[in-house]
Structure 1
Amino acid sequence: MKSNWSIHDSEELYGLKRWGKPYFNINNVGHIVVSPQNNKDKALNLFKLVQNLEKRNFNLPLLVHFPDIIEDRIEQLNHCFSKAMARYNYDGSYQGVFPIKVNQQRHIVESVVNYGYKYKYGLEVGSKPELLIALAQLKNSNSLLICNGYKDKKYVETAVIAYHLGYNILIVIEQLSEIYLVADVVLEHGIKPNLGIRAKLSAKGDSRWANSAGDRAKFGLSVTEIIRALDQLSKSGMLTKLKLLHFHIGSQISAIATIKDALSEASQIYINLCKLGAPMEYFDVGGGLGIDYDGSNTNFPASKNYSMQNYANDVVAAIKTACDSQSIKVPIIVSESGRSVASHQSILIVNVLGVDKIEEFNNTTEIDNCHTLVQEILEIYISINETNFQEAYHDVLQLKREIESLFSFGYLSLYERGKAEELFWKCCRKIKTILQKVDLEVDELDNLHQLLLSTYYCNFSVFQSLPDNWSIDQLFPIMPIHRLTEKPTELGTLADLTCDSDGKVSRFIGYQNVKPHLELHSWEKNEPYYLGFFLSGAYQEILGSLHNLFGDTNAVHIKLDNDGYHIESIIKGDSVAEVLKYLEYNSRDMIKSMHKKTQNAFKNRQITFKESQLFLKYYKDALYNYTYLK
């Protein structure tokens, strides 16, 4: 259905201009195009890219990364802070760090390090393995390496010795006990690294991660503990190495007022640390810089009511005001903006495998001999009109319940129940048509829309590729990547491949609201239908689980150039054998076992020799192929 529908209608329906700007647009043939460098003259047709990759036997689901978007996000972040500092005459500088936990994939971290080099953009780590990654990846000795998280002696020793290697490393004290641990390592090795303190603010975030701050926060020192820490550092001869104050009030902060409150409190802690003799140099405002998943520019949980420039302005203004009031030199500002840097660069592309929808039933004959309740539904169906549709809906619902009860007690045949269901769905469709015709919203009939939703079965695992959607109801923009000159005619939800009732996506981004359905096009068995899950580059890859043993998806890293684009790297998704290896299964042992079983079956004449060879071939092929469907 192409009449009276344009790409502008699709942009409005899916909110593309709101959440996708400036990287995602629709071209004149209805395909999503990606402009990674914020340049429409260099745009990639996502639909054609997927088709070209499929021709090369690179199967879906597919994760497409655009490292150029990482470069643009880092440039934007540094530009915003530079502009804010010029506006407020801030006599200091900005040095961002990327929290590796957001996306530890090597190609992502390498992109961050390479593109951030000229800005002295560093890394933040929260564990020993992440520290080892950062030490291997960082290239600029002026880039910060912030060490957060729980620490044992080996973690601290590695960081301390790395400081002598020339890394600009800061070990952040998040618990009082870590001071004694650091002191022991310093005494043993004779190396005093630069230190930081994480403050446990009373100001709390407004998101689902609000408990990152407050009195019962997992990390950080209370004001009382900070005073004790200063005393202990002084006794250990390490107060002169305290250079950084850090705080974190949670990820994806939706309201700028929350950030302002935290900055006000933290700024006072900073200037008091300076007054108490600590030679402070860095003010780390942590993460929290949100992205606008729904494009509403509000404090809705899937949005934010501020821009990146607003954020930078407020950070710079708050710190400068506090420092100027006490004639204290302004610090180097550090932020750990991981979600804002990494989210846009990744798109998950899946194909629809099939659709489950309520069938159209045209045959209303052969019910003369059916139970009277079945005949009553037919009479209601015939009588439904624009004046009685609401009453008719309640009546057929009641009749349906009565018929199901009679069937359970053996008073109705399977045939009669089948006819009753056919008529019930015909009534529902007729009522829905009337609602659309008269353009009415009837709260009591909301359930009708839910009953008639189609289920689109998609080739992916929610648990592997969108774990935050399943676990914490995180919303991601989802839409078709083609056929956007056509009006979607179906309302549906998405189901994944797992044998789990939670393996679905049934909450979708609206405009400051959550929709129970997604507008989709009709599905044709022999025609590909691709959906894109956007803004999924933060946390999803590393948090994914192996539910039903669906492993990592295929992934490509795409860079645009003067000739169009080139594939910077291809990362093959997990094979079945690789996934099974995580669980201590040896693929060669499994094949030997099946050889033995097929030989015994052949000897016992249960199968033919040809069948045994064919089965072994299928078994081996399955073991060494993609975990997803082809």
Structure 2
Amino acid sequence: MELERAEITVTAELDRLLKNTVDPKDKAKVGVKNQHQPERPKAPWTIEDSENLYRIQGWGEPYFSINAAGHVTVAPQGDRGGSLDLYELVTSLQQRNLALPLLIRFSDILEHRIERLNACFAKAIARYNYGGVYKGVFPVKCNQQKHLIEDLVKFGKPYQFGLEAGSKPELMIAIAMLNNPGALLICNGYKDREYIETAMLAQKLDQTPIIVLEQIEEVEIAIEAAKALGIKPNLGVRAKLNAKGIGRWGVSSGDRAKFGLTIPEIIMVVDKLKAVDMIDSLQLLHFHIGSQISSISVIKDAIGEASKIYVELVQLGANMKYLDVGGGLGIDYDGSQTNFHASKNYDLQNYANDIVAEVRETCSDKNIPVPTLISESGRAIASHQSVLIFDVLSTCEVRTDLPPPTTNPEHQIVRNLWETYESITPENFREAFYDANQFKEEALSRFKFGYLTLTERSRAEQLYWACCQKILDIAKREEYMPEDLEELEQIMASIYYINLSVFQSAPDSWAIDQLFPIMPIHRLGEEPTRRGILADLTCDSDGKIDQFIDLKDVKHVLELHPLEAKEPYYLGLFLGGAYQEIMGNLHNLFGDTNAVHIKITPKGYKIEHVVKGDTMTEVVGYVQYDVEDLIESIRQKAEQALLENRIEIGEAQRLLQNYEHSLSQYTYLAP
């Protein structure tokens, strides 16, 4: 999102104060007029500089930090346990033939997130003397991976933590996996007769399914199924609140929301259930105002409206027991703690306090027992638990070296660019930038009309990029990057080619410009002197990441280190544990990455599960190719080439061996 820039002049000391106190995400960019400062000797780069640059203390608390070796560390149990050196862990996993890209899941983080959420609600319930309890559920849609759901169910047992299903396949998973007596199974999404019958019959398995009516047609289906089965179901209604969400998912609330019932439709449900003597089955009110809610005020508005609807349903005779506040609990992707789509201006305790206090007050006013509170906080629970590690294959730099001297007469445009380059100073660098651009455009125009040779155009372009580099070097030393030069850094950025498919492993980055923290996991005691964007392995121009977290708005280049010969360079994408895995696609047939589940132990760690990534055989099978048919086709082509003397027998064998071997390999590139 592009935000207005106010032009103001501030001193360096005021700027320092602004960086520490301004609510940056409004995110109003604070632009300043540039006043050249005399160059001072540069202090050596420190670990603290990397912490500030990549904002790891903001988004990473309490799990991620940087150690004295300049490596990212992971503390899976938060402040109460040990930590692992992520670089050393990746090196060790590679020695076990687990190739990059590699998704590392930390089961302890998942457990800690569940504990933390429940502890916050327990504290709020005690603080406000709330007469009910909290029972959270995890939305299976956030991450359906088997080992993760198994862990969630196990870690949720002490809290009667349940699951939420948003489709029939997810319902099948939830019924089979959930074995926590007293835990809730919230049944959302589109429902046919079989879905509703299956959910009702799950009551016979000592489960507590609650069928949330989201379409008016579902009421009749539920009534008919209940009569046919002779089961008294647990029903709920999803309300379309007037309160609106904000950000990308704000449209999932309000009158035009995809799911939910309007107030007149809720009254129709009540009347229909009363007519068949089933009003006591209506036990839950549910609402959802969107994902990643960045402002606590939006949550307070929604819970205020919903709690009043809950009270009214009780007064209408419904047997109300539960209030499901849905999803929306955000996480701080950029570490700014502000009202910005990639952040949030509240913490878990604020969230729990406001929900508990509002519901208690509303029910108390009407002398109605408070409900059991439910939240569907999938993003907040699952995002932190996985880290995606990938390596950089190569880079492409903008060449900024000057053209070699020549004894031949230079074209006037080339001479003009030489003069511009030589005259660039801290006092005139902005004017020089406009001059260089003008001369470049003239060179292109003259070339099109045949008045400039290819060699002359080449020299002009070399000089232009040399001018840009010299101008950028000066601009970086200024207190703030001049607004009219902001795009120059992006234009001059290096391209870092990464062993990854954005479409497979970070689809939200491509589809909705979701920001994820990305940073090197080593060399953090060394200053990152390059500015780059990340380009993936796919042949799609959208297969890149060129938006990165920043204190002020969004930056379009990432600070990186120059590659060292024969030395790997590892980057990590953090907070991607929700939605990304299941939403990834097979663009260019890059499949699932290798994944490993790590559990911390007193002596270090143990590998609980290894889930191998897709092979080429598997991905071509997904698109209906039979591998044996492919191999036979190549064999026949090779035989024909032998008959026609187009290939030798050794070459044919080498081709077949490479072909068969490739099909058995990981879809990503080997080092």
Q: Same fold (TM over 0.5)?
A: yes
- Matched residue SS, 2:92: helix
Q: Which moved more, 1:466-475 or 1:160-169?
A: 160-169
Aligned-pair distance for 1:39?
3.7
1:258 and 2:298 equivalent? yes
Question: 1:120 maps to which residue?
Answer: 160
**Aligned with residue 346 of structure 1, among 366, 386, 400:** 386
1:357 and 2:357 equivalent? no
Give 2:300's aligned amino acid: K
Distance 2:45 2:59 in 1: 21
Question: 1:44 maps to which residue?
Answer: 84
**Pairing 1:385-534 to 2, within 5 Å after superposition:** 385-439=425-479, 441-534=481-574
Question: 2:342 maps to which residue?
Answer: 302
1:84 and 2:124 equivalent? yes
How many residue pairs end up in the alignment?
Answer: 629
Aligned-pair distance for 1:410?
2.8
Distance 1:581 1:237 in 2: 53
Give 1:624's aligned amino acid: S
**Aligned with residue 631 of structure 2, among 568, 579, 591:** 591
CA contact (8 A) 2:489 2:557 kept: no
**Aligned with residue 575 of structure 1, among 603, 606, 615:** 615
Task: Please list every run of 5 or more consecutive structure 2 residues that lacks an aligned counterpart in the other structure.
Answer: 1-41
Structure 1 segments of 4+ aligned residues over 6 angstroms from their partners:
none
Q: TM-score, normalised by structure 2?
A: 0.92
Distance 2:158 2:407 in 1: 78
- Matched residue SS, 1:209: helix
1:223 and 2:263 equivalent? yes
Distance 1:367 1:127 in 2: 75
CA contact (8 A) 1:364 1:423 kept: no
Question: 1:546 maps to which residue?
Answer: 586
Question: 1:324 maps to which residue?
Answer: 364
Aligned-pair distance for 1:379?
2.0
Distance 1:267 1:438 in 2: 53
Distance 2:302 2:426 in 1: 56
Give 2:173's aligned amino acid: I
Identify if the C-alpha distance between structure 1 residues 367 and 20 changes in structure 2 by more than 3 Å, giving closer, same or farther: farther
Identify if the C-alpha distance between structure 1 residues 440 and 262 changes in structure 2 by more than 3 Å, giving closer, same or farther: closer
Distance 2:206 2:594 in 1: 38
Deviations 1:257-285 (A, max 9, x none): 00010011101110011011111111111
Distance 1:360 1:429 in 2: 6
- Matched residue SS, 2:247: coil
Give 1:331's aligned amino acid: P
- Matched residue SS, 1:301: coil
Question: 1:26 maps to which residue?
Answer: 66
CA contact (8 A) 1:146 1:171 kept: yes
Distance 1:341 1:496 in 2: 28
1:166 and 2:213 equivalent? no
Distance 1:220 1:386 in 2: 61
Distance 1:121 1:438 in 2: 53
Question: 1:280 maps to which residue?
Answer: 320
Q: Which moved more, 1:6-15 or 1:408-417?
A: 408-417
Question: 1:152 maps to which residue?
Answer: 192
Aligned-pair distance for 1:440?
5.2
Q: TM-score, normalised by structure 1?
A: 0.98
Distance 1:190 1:227 in 2: 25
RMSD between aligned residues: 1.3
1:99 and 2:99 equivalent? no
CA contact (8 A) 2:403 2:463 kept: no
Identify if the C-alpha distance between structure 1 residues 439 and 368 changes in structure 2 by more than 3 Å, giving closer, same or farther: farther
Distance 1:154 1:79 in 2: 37
Deviations 1:2-60 (A, max 9, x none): 96111111001110011101000111100001000014751111101111122222111
CA contact (8 A) 1:300 1:512 kept: no
CA contact (8 A) 2:294 2:344 kept: yes
Task: Please list every run of 5 or more consecutive structure 1 residues that lacks an aligned counterpart in the other structure.
Answer: none
Deviations 1:112-152 (A, max 9, x none): 10000111000000111000101111111211000000001
Distance 1:604 1:425 in 2: 52
- Matched residue SS, 2:248: coil
**Aligned with residue 331 of structure 2, among 268, 291, 313:** 291
Distance 1:508 1:597 in 2: 48
Identify if the C-alpha distance between structure 1 residues 473 and 452 changes in structure 2 by more than 3 Å, giving closer, same or farther: same
Question: 2:14 maps to which residue?
Answer: none
Question: 2:376 maps to which residue?
Answer: 336
Identify if the C-alpha distance between structure 1 residues 371 and 560 changes in structure 2 by more than 3 Å, giving closer, same or farther: same
Distance 2:126 2:146 in 1: 35
Q: Which moved more, 1:416-425 or 1:589-598?
A: 416-425
Distance 2:173 2:658 in 1: 39
Question: 1:132 maps to which residue?
Answer: 172
CA contact (8 A) 1:117 1:140 kept: yes
Give 1:564's aligned amino acid: G
Question: 1:556 maps to which residue?
Answer: 596
Give 1:469's aligned amino acid: S
**Aligned with residue 377 of structure 1, among 401, 414, 417:** 417
Question: 1:209 maps to which residue?
Answer: 249
- Matched residue SS, 2:395: strand
Aligned-pair distance for 1:211?
1.4
- Matched residue SS, 2:559: strand
Question: 2:225 maps to which residue?
Answer: 185
Q: Percent identity?
A: 55
CA contact (8 A) 2:403 2:459 kept: no
CA contact (8 A) 1:281 1:331 kept: yes
- Matched residue SS, 1:559: strand
CA contact (8 A) 2:313 2:320 kept: yes
Aligned-pair distance for 1:444?
1.8
Identify if the C-alpha distance between structure 1 residues 354 and 422 changes in structure 2 by more than 3 Å, giving closer, same or farther: same
- Matched residue SS, 2:551: coil
Identify if the C-alpha distance between structure 1 residues 619 and 65 changes in structure 2 by more than 3 Å, giving closer, same or farther: same
Identify if the C-alpha distance between structure 1 residues 178 and 579 changes in structure 2 by more than 3 Å, giving closer, same or farther: same
Distance 1:296 1:320 in 2: 31
Identify if the C-alpha distance between structure 1 residues 519 and 247 changes in structure 2 by more than 3 Å, giving closer, same or farther: same
Give 2:235's aligned amino acid: L
CA contact (8 A) 1:194 1:243 kept: yes
- Matched residue SS, 1:492: strand
Distance 2:79 2:172 in 1: 36
Question: 2:148 maps to which residue?
Answer: 108
Q: Which moved more, 1:545-554 or 1:50-59?
A: 50-59
Aligned-pair distance for 1:395?
1.2
Q: Which moved more, 1:2-11 or 1:155-164?
A: 2-11
Give 2:290's aligned amino acid: G
Aligned-pair distance for 1:419?
1.2
Deviations 1:394-427 (A, max 9, x none): 1111111111122223332222211111111111
